[in-house]
A and B are shown apart, each in its own frame.
Chain A
Amino acid sequence: MARGMDPMRFEGVRDALEALLNTYKSTDFRVIGEQTQAQGAEEVEDDLRSVEVYYSEGDFPKAAGSMPGPLTHEMTFKVDLTASAAAEGDVATLEAPGSTSGERAIALAGIKRARRQADRSLDVLWRHVCQILQAADSVNLEVDTDTWRLSSRWLGNYRKDEPISYGELVVITGSATFTCKIEEDTTGVIPVETASTEYDLNLEVTHDEEGVMDEEGLAGVANVPPA
């Protein structure tokens, strides 16, 4: 008999977090439900900026549970943000054959540096993540309260890192933590019933009185003596 385990609720919370961000994002970014390796600068440029949400830490405080369960699961999810950007400016004027030196000087002076653009892009991303995850109407991550009840839900510890020049672009990252509590059941390893297949192994061969197989009998099984 096979054995299995029911999924724990933190796995559902992880999937609900990813789904919530995907549902309510009103600007362009990508939601990634796992921890990825370092991403290339071009992979996160402008609207390709990314939010990675993944289960990072879990604790079962002894005072808030019992051995046979239920257990209070204090969960920490990491929310990693990554964006990159190029400088922006009036390229058309710089390239126009008929532009004057004065116009080109103004265009050059007005170039917004890539560091600034990347920083702003990350701020926009954080604004959206913040508004979606802290919204009061998604307090249970839009999952029916019969399924679970989250408590102590909080988004915090946001930190923005230094922008880094990466080839022709500038990359910037930031991270925050999403913490919450949930009640987990301890079901242990449970047996799983598997449907068995039955095979009919009886071989029925029909034959006449002399033991010669009938036409409807099995080919190649002639002269089978009567039982």
Chain B
Amino acid sequence: MTNLRELAESDLADTLEDPNQWGLPVVLIGPDGEIQGTEEVPLYGQVLYNRIEENPATGGEIIVKKPVAVLRISSLDPVPAPGENWAFRIPITPDLEADLVTWFAERPEEDGASIGFIRLYGKKIKQEEEE
């Protein structure tokens, strides 16, 4: 018999991963350089391009440009852990065919582990100049 928590986790296949619903392609690059989300085995997740943060100067809420990739934990192996260096690539616009852009991943303290997903927050990376 399936309990509600398991049911919610299985729903992630629709709510997060289904490219016909909210899913967008995501490529994860782990600290060992291994890639999850290839052409053979694609990885999908829900991607948001902005989020609400607190303005440290005023304490008020502001909307900032900071992409968030929400991924189903059961689709990941290995799962990004705090303190590790990960990068992820997501479409530049919410379009399945759009070019992918690379972001440095921050694993936040808040996550949805009790339901079965993680959030990776993107930090902009610039190409370093040749010295």
Contact = CB atoms under 8 A, between A and B. Distances in A.
A38 interface: yes
Contacts of A111: 85, 87, 104, 125
Contacts of B58: 38
A102 interface: yes
Contacts of B109: none
Given A86-B126, A91-B102, A167-B65, A105 B53 contact: no
Nearest to A115: B123
Given A38-B55, A95-B89, A108 B128 contact: no
B127 A108 contact: no
Interface in A78-127: 86-92, 94-95, 100-109, 111-112, 114
Interface string A55-81: 000000000000000000000000000
A164 interface: yes
Contacts of A86: 123-126
Nearest to A85: B126
Given A94-B102, A104-B33, A166-B64, A114 B85 contact: no
Nearest to B31: A108
A111 B125 CA distance: 8
Contacts of B25: none
Given A166-B64, A168-B66, A103 B125 contact: no
Nearest to A171: B56
Interface string B99-121: 01011100000000000000000
Query: Which of under 10, 10 to 19, 20 to 34, or 35 or more describes the interface residues of A?
Result: 20 to 34
Contacts, number: 85
Given A38-B57, A105-B31, A89 B124 contact: no
Q: Chain A CB within 10 Å — which of B55, B100, B125, B126 has the most?
A: B125
Nearest to A105: B33
Contact of B65 (A101, A106, A107, A168): A168
Interface string B65-87: 11100000000000000000111
B26 interface: no
B122 A168 contact: yes
A176 to B, nearest CB: 19
A169 interface: yes
Contacts of B65: 42, 167-168
Given A109-B85, A164-B56, A167-B65, A89 B32 contact: no
B34 interface: yes
A175 to B, nearest CB: 14
A105 B30 CA distance: 8
Contacts of A89: 104, 125-128
B59 to A, nearest CB: 11
11 contacts: A87-B123, A89-B125, A95-B102, A105-B32, A107-B33, A108-B29, A108-B85, A108-B86, A109-B31, A167-B66, A168-B66
| Interface pairs A-B: 7 shortest CB-CB | A167-B64, A101-B33, A104-B33, A105-B33, A86-B124, A168-B124, A38-B57
